[in-house]
Structure 1
Amino acid sequence: MKLRLEVRAILLLPVYLLIYVYSMLVFIPWYFLTDVKKKKAMAKRLKAKPTSDKPGSPYRSVTHLDSLAHINIPGADTLDKLFDHALAKFAKKDCLGTREVLSEENEMQPNGKVFKKLILGTYRWLSYEEVHEKMNRLGRGMTALGLTPKSTVVIFCETRAEWMIMALTCFKYNFPLITLYATLGEEAVTYGLNECEAAYLVTSVELLESKLKTALPQVSCLKHIIYVDNKSINKADYPETLEIHSMQTVEEMGAKPENTSILPSRPAPSDLALVMYTSGSTGRPKGVMMVHKNLIAGMTGQCERIPGLGSKDTYIGYLPLAHVLELTAEISCITYGCRIGYSSPLTLSDQSSKIKKGSKGDCTVLRPTLMAAVPEIMDRIYKNVMSKVQEMNYIQRTLFKIGYDYKLEQIKRGYDAPLCNVLLFKKVKALLGGNIRMMLSGGAPLSPQTQRFMNICFCCPVGQGYGLTETCGAGTITEATDYSTGKVGAPLICCEIKLKDWQEGGYTNKDKPNPRGEIVIGGPNVSMGYFKNEEKTTEDFSVDENGQRWFCTGDIGEFHPDGSLQIIDRKKDLVKLQAGEYVSLGKVEAALKNCPLIDNICAYAKSDQSYVISFVVPNQKRLTALAEQKGISGTWVDICNNPTMEAEVLREIKEVANKMKLERFEIPIKVRLSPEPWTPETGLVTDAFKLKRKELKNHYLNDIERMYGGK
């Protein structure tokens, strides 16, 4: 054994020598050619500071201490004017792209399930000019159907080019757009449609037939349904009171000579642009009302943090467009002349579940330069890559580790490792097309471990953003030059952030070494409140003596000396145990997601109990391998229900918890392993993969009773 280790060490000597020579020869010219000194100074500089010395004063970006930014494109004070600006500059350039479906095949899986596999062709593009023509035809056609300015249109559809074309049309013709997540269940969709009382609904044939058909009899307000696909449906299956049209038919109506004289009624900055229903992590979804100037302000702040955004960029759109992160990202891209190629989480990479083996995923074909992702997707990429690393032989695995550790040290110092990028990380980078220059993570805190992995293996900065639907997605974004982890950046130039004392949780502005408290965001990007919910609006929103709107987020933050914010807790995630200790469930989950055996986790505690329990979606590959080592056989469900495997997962949980320095009372002492993953379709997580605690509690009610000693 000792001899084998010595031989391996000798074999690796040339690698260490190469790294040493490389560092000596390449580092100095690279240092000066890439202006690293300036980038390091940018990363360490003061980014935001309080507007006064008074404790609890709001923090502002140092570049906009005097006044907040509302708009960065002169005259473009409504969303339709943003597209006008882009059209004038980029008329002939590619705007929206969709991949052609060449064929579909049903593939039987070992467990007996049938998966639909796709063989996809190239991207077909619409230019800015062609999108504009479609918008005009569609707007005139919808007006001919009887839609009047300031009348609402509901969109309940998957992310695709038609979604964005419909949104741009509504912005131009002053039809406020109401968005519903495509993964909402029948009850939530019915609730949303009845609450907004819209007469016009835009959807897809698949959603119309799978979810809406049974819901429609409970919705009395609808008069027109427009479906986006070029398919025909049997209208006899639907109520006679409904008029059902294809999007193409509505466009053709708008192209008729008698309708070509219809002109758009352009919106004012204070007109309602969106009612965006949240995905409902706590109870029923709430509709957030945003006027045009709210969204313009929010995007002004976001775009300032994305360097070099322009017509050379390609953005891949696959997150739900009913989510504020995706919608504002895509509108911003269009404004600056980027092209957007559409995808889905099921076709994103060559390994995605809907891509036939041997075929190319969307990233490989599109080769995007910009991408947004939620932490759940980044965590999944991280675990998949690291799983493949474990399957390498000793030499390959050691080379990868040496390169990874070397680049990690360089990044921590604000440098890079170009040779490692070319020799070691090229294949990993190719998983997302090989061309990504910046990624943006939002929706939930991203673990430092995953952020570093994305920095290293995908060779690009990963910006963490913090914002809410109620603030038009704008709050903070880390700068591209910032190489720290765990923080979400300084306030954007469109808003200011203050921390409100929360005595019960023990967070105040006088805390040392840094002020802490509930995050409250103020500025022109703060929305107008909740649709038809005055009570909740009054509870969460306020207006100060200067007329500025503020929103209480419910998240707990800490400001660091450089003015950047860190999310450290959430009010609703805090549970007081029987002995009086406070447990932050979100903090526990964030720490334990670092466990290789865990794909997803929900911590749970009851105030009349003395300990924390957990529900876990285990990593199937790793847990199955561990079961084999322990001599445990059976189906995946059998493995998850086996008490020995529960004990093994708990053992790993304890190890990781101790490494992450969790308190003894914070560590879950019982676990339920779930053989089924939690997806938006199961109703246990939102579209942004945030946990729905109420639904998870109801789903695991019997297990909660068991783990707390009930019958």
Structure 2
Amino acid sequence: MDHSAAAQRRIKAIQAHLISSVDSASQLCHNLTAGEFVYEQGYSVVLPERLHTGKWNVYRSAHSPLKLVSRFTEHPKIATLHDNFVHAVNTFRDNRYLGTRVRGDGTVGEYKWMTYGEAGNARTALGSGLIYHGIPKLLSYLAEIPTVHLVVVVGGMDDQIPSLPSSTGVQVVTHTKLLSQGCSNLQPFSPPNPDDVATICYTSGTTGTPKGAVLTHANLIANVAGGTVATKCSPSDVYISYLPLAHIYERANQVMVVYFGASVGFYQGDSMKLMDDLAALRPTVFCSVPRLYNRIYASITNAVKTSGVLKERLFNAAYNSKKQALLSGKNPSPIWDKLVFNKIRDKLGGRVRLMVSGASPLSPDVMDFLKICFGGRVSEGYGMTETSCLISAVDEGDNLSGHVGSPSPACEIKLVDVPEMNYTSDDQPYPRGEICVRGPIVFKGYYKDEAQTKEVIDEGGWLHTGDIGLWLPGGRLKIIDRKKNIFKLAQGEYIAPEKIENVYAKCKFVAQCFVYGDSLNSSLVAIVSVDQDVLKAWAASEGIKYKDLGQLCNDPRTKAAVLADMDAIGREAQLRGFEFVKAVTLVHEPFTLENGLVTPTFKIKRPQAKQYFAKAISDMYAQLVIADDSSPRTKL
């Protein structure tokens, strides 16, 4: 039997009946063993969701087009987080694992390290110590007797721990004593199964109450396995951990670090001292969020502008030369790194080879800036708690900015029409719609909330993300809108505030920005948390005197200067007329976790921000009404 001829006949049959959009049969590839077909699109491949519909709308990674990744290819027996850690302890026992700078007395010094072997021993001792105190037995009764029976004090001294009356039934022990008790009473492991719950990870809560996403060991292993198909680390890599460990972005990064046997150094707990931690640790891998990258961008560009004419010209020449070389696929001259960019790289320790951005969109300008100034690979990813983290990421060698790459090998993606927003898969030149995800990375549901689970996971197993995307050439995904975080102005224009906030984030005065509007008003207003250093420098240059930052923020001249700079940035980004804010309120306090205005990944909590700044928003609209009533155009 001629298998080649049979395969060609099947290709022609499929092409004739299913895909009218495919221009060339050469793009349709067959797999002789599986007998399946895909349509190549560069970084992605496209498959039909159902053969009888004739619609090729399901995108997968070109790295694994015919089977979704659920385990690490090199170590398929790693099925749980327990397996992953045991593998790391056995393989990298003497390698550095956990590093901290903060000493027991609160002072800060050089990083001190715990090896994988030491961490493995501590884990065994800790678990055995808990069993020694009867924790497994107590857990079985917690539903009936929700009472604490054991308090473990980390960092305390045994002779300083108070004892509680025996009648309370509560024991208080130090962490050190618990480890000692565990070492003296070692117990065997009770490993989890892949489908067991690994964590209940709460969503950021940007639009309401946070929801508990139930994630299994299999979910997390599949996600990290998919993400590491194309992005590899090694035991020599050093990762800095400063993002909240309660967030899925950092949790997945930690699983990845363990798998590769890399080292992770924790920042000292103060984000204002992060640059000092970076200089001490000298990481090779740096994962962050756009807020910090925007601050780095603004800090460097502002320093260049105030460095003098010659230094500014040298920087611009180096920047433009390196940018042109990267865009044309050539190696830039090393002279520019020696003269200009190595000094900038030193700000992050001088060794960073991989920078990753996630949690919210990164401006293409900032992405290009990071690639040019810091060298190495800069990637942007897209994901969410409900998918155990990563959904898509920019592939290595892809120099196009402004998108979030191709699907992770551990999932498949399709776009679903959103007719009320005029987004359809038939849109030209690019298909558009709500991003839906399916695969082993999708969570099991929201904790004790079946109703909301059914709202996001349909009968076909597709998770509806609420994000609007389009497919760029090459099978790259671009996020363009959000179903939930949009509103209409009085004239009916749809507003996506996060997109506008990302534009204004490049304004030199802006540290953080909250854009607000509603259907009762015809324009947007904004609350701006100012960059204090930039504002003080500007006031000095203008000869403006002030008692404190509050007075400076309320000065009409300051507001006018900030609004003018925001307008210039908006025009540069080609915002539409109704997307420009018409009034600003300046505040010197940042949006923080403590005041409840941002999530752990620094996304603005919109309902909370609206309530927090209600008076300022009302005052701005009142002022706009007065200004509009007094304008000559209104009087005419």
Structure 1-normalised TM-score? Answer: 0.76
Is the contact between residue 164 and residue 171 of structure 2 (CA under 8 Å) also seen in structure 1?
no
Task: Mark the CA change 1:100 to 1:631 in structure 2 (over 3 Å): closer, same or farther.
Answer: closer
2:373 maps to a residue whose letter is C
Is the contact between residue 163 and residue 172 of structure 2 (CA under 8 Å) also seen in structure 1?
no
Is the contact between residue 198 and residue 221 of structure 1 (CA under 8 Å) also seen in structure 2?
no
Task: Mark the CA change 1:516 to 1:149 in structure 2 (over 3 Å): closer, same or farther.
Answer: farther
The CA deviation at 1:697 is: 0.4
The CA deviation at 1:222 is: 4.0
Is the contact between residue 475 and residue 495 of structure 1 (CA under 8 Å) also seen in structure 2?
yes
Of residues 235, 243, 248, the one that matches 2:176 is 248
Is the contact between residue 56 and residue 500 of structure 1 (CA under 8 Å) also seen in structure 2?
no
Equivalent residue, structure 1, for 2:594: 681
Cα separation, 1, equivalents of 2:105 and 2:230:
41
Is the contact between residue 280 and residue 286 of structure 1 (CA under 8 Å) also seen in structure 2?
yes
Tell me the secondary structure at the aligned position of residue 363 of structure 1.
Answer: helix
Task: Mark the CA change 1:571 to 1:224 in structure 2 (over 3 Å): closer, same or farther.
Answer: farther
Deviations along 1:321-364, one digit per CA (max 9) or x if unpaired, are 111111111111111111112214636xxxx4488xxxxx2222
Equivalent residue, structure 2, for 1:456: 372
Equivalent residue, structure 2, for 1:50: 46
Matching of residues 239-638 of structure 1 within 5 Å: 242-256=170-184, 259-260=185-186, 262-307=187-232, 309-344=233-268, 346=270, 352-353=272-273, 361-417=276-332, 418-544=334-460, 549-634=461-546, 635-638=548-551
Cα separation, 1, equivalents of 2:149 and 2:577:
58
Equivalent residue, structure 2, for 1:66: 66
Is the contact between residue 305 and residue 477 of structure 1 (CA under 8 Å) also seen in structure 2?
no
Cα separation, 1, equivalents of 2:137 and 2:218:
18
Tell me the secondary structure at the aligned position of residue 463 of structure 2.
Answer: strand
Of residues 568, 592, 598, the one that matches 1:655 is 568
Is the contact between residue 102 and residue 121 of structure 1 (CA under 8 Å) also seen in structure 2?
no
Is the contact between residue 93 and residue 117 of structure 2 (CA under 8 Å) also seen in structure 1?
yes
Deviations along 1:158-215, one digit per CA (max 9) or x if unpaired, are xxxxxxxxxxxxxxxxxxxxxxxxxxxxxxxxxxxxxx9799xxxxxxxxxxxxxxxx
1:331 maps to a residue whose letter is V
What are the ranges of 5 or more consecutive residues in structure 2 without an aligned counterpart?
A: 1-39, 626-636
Tell me the secondary structure at the aligned position of residue 126 of structure 1.
Answer: strand
Cα separation, 2, equivalents of 1:491 and 1:381:
28
Deviations along 1:207-258, one digit per CA (max 9) or x if unpaired, are xxxxxxxxxxxxx6544343433457765899956544332222122122xx
2:614 maps to a residue whose letter is L
Is the contact between residue 61 and residue 492 of structure 1 (CA under 8 Å) also seen in structure 2?
yes
Equivalent residue, structure 1, for 2:8: none
Task: Mark the CA change 1:505 to 1:223 in structure 2 (over 3 Å): closer, same or farther.
Answer: farther
Task: Mark the CA change 1:273 to 1:636 in structure 2 (over 3 Å): closer, same or farther.
Answer: same
Task: Mark the CA change 1:671 to 1:332 in structure 2 (over 3 Å): closer, same or farther.
Answer: same
The CA deviation at 1:75 is: 1.0
Is the contact between residue 41 and residue 474 of structure 2 (CA under 8 Å) also seen in structure 1?
yes
Tell me the secondary structure at the aligned position of residue 682 of structure 1.
Answer: coil
1:282 maps to a residue whose letter is T
1:313 maps to a residue whose letter is D
* Stretch deviating more after TM superposition (491-500 or 622-631): 622-631
Task: Mark the CA change 1:241 to 1:501 in structure 2 (over 3 Å): closer, same or farther.
Answer: farther
Cα separation, 1, equivalents of 2:557 and 2:144:
54
Equivalent residue, structure 2, for 1:107: none
Equivalent residue, structure 2, for 1:84: 86
* Stretch deviating more after TM superposition (289-298 or 120-129): 120-129
Cα separation, 2, equivalents of 1:503 and 1:394:
53
Deviations along 1:58-113, one digit per CA (max 9) or x if unpaired, are 21112322111110222111111112222222122222222253976xxxxxxxxx
2:122 maps to a residue whose letter is K
Is the contact between residue 56 and residue 499 of structure 1 (CA under 8 Å) also seen in structure 2?
no
The CA deviation at 1:567 is: 0.9
Is the contact between residue 290 and residue 527 of structure 1 (CA under 8 Å) also seen in structure 2?
yes
Deviations along 1:622-656, one digit per CA (max 9) or x if unpaired, are 32333344443212110111122212222222222
Structure 2-normalised TM-score? Answer: 0.85
Cα separation, 1, equivalents of 2:87 and 2:286:
23
1:643 maps to a residue whose letter is P
Matching of residues 176-191 of structure 1 within 5 Å: none
Is the contact between residue 289 and residue 531 of structure 1 (CA under 8 Å) also seen in structure 2?
yes
Task: Mark the CA change 1:56 to 1:248 in structure 2 (over 3 Å): closer, same or farther.
Answer: farther
Cα separation, 2, equivalents of 1:354 and 1:465:
22
The CA deviation at 1:391 is: 2.8
Tell me the secondary structure at the aligned position of residue 669 of structure 1.
Answer: strand
Give the aligned length. 574
What are the ranges of 5 or more consecutive residues in structure 1 without an aligned counterpart?
A: 1-43, 105-117, 153-195, 200-219, 356-360
Is the contact between residue 438 and residue 461 of structure 1 (CA under 8 Å) also seen in structure 2?
yes
* Stretch deviating more after TM superposition (281-290 or 141-150): 141-150
Is the contact between residue 77 and residue 292 of structure 1 (CA under 8 Å) also seen in structure 2?
yes
1:489 maps to a residue whose letter is G
RMSD between aligned residues: 2.6
Task: Mark the CA change 1:235 to 1:478 in structure 2 (over 3 Å): closer, same or farther.
Answer: farther
Matching of residues 144-223 of structure 1 within 5 Å: 144-148=132-136, 221-223=147-149
Matching of residues 127-146 of structure 1 within 5 Å: 127-146=115-134
Equivalent residue, structure 2, for 1:28: none
Tell me the secondary structure at the aligned position of residue 57 of structure 1.
Answer: strand
Task: Mark the CA change 1:354 to 1:269 in structure 2 (over 3 Å): closer, same or farther.
Answer: closer
Cα separation, 2, equivalents of 1:509 and 1:45:
16
1:565 maps to a residue whose letter is L
The CA deviation at 1:126 is: 1.6
Deviations along 1:271-304, one digit per CA (max 9) or x if unpaired, are 1111112232222221111111111100111112
* Stretch deviating more after TM superposition (517-526 or 310-319): 310-319
Cα separation, 2, equivalents of 1:148 and 1:616:
51
1:286 maps to a residue whose letter is K
Cα separation, 1, equivalents of 2:100 and 2:64:
39
Matching of residues 685-704 of structure 1 within 5 Å: 685-704=598-617
Tell me the secondary structure at the aligned position of residue 210 of structure 2.
Answer: coil
Cα separation, 1, equivalents of 2:568 and 2:560:
13
The CA deviation at 1:422 is: 2.1
Task: Mark the CA change 1:610 to 1:87 in structure 2 (over 3 Å): closer, same or farther.
Answer: same
Is the contact between residue 485 and residue 496 of structure 2 (CA under 8 Å) also seen in structure 1?
yes
Percent identity reads: 33
* Stretch deviating more after TM superposition (85-94 or 473-482): 85-94
Equivalent residue, structure 1, for 2:100: 98
Is the contact between residue 151 and residue 170 of structure 2 (CA under 8 Å) also seen in structure 1?
yes
1:142 maps to a residue whose letter is L
Equivalent residue, structure 1, for 2:33: none
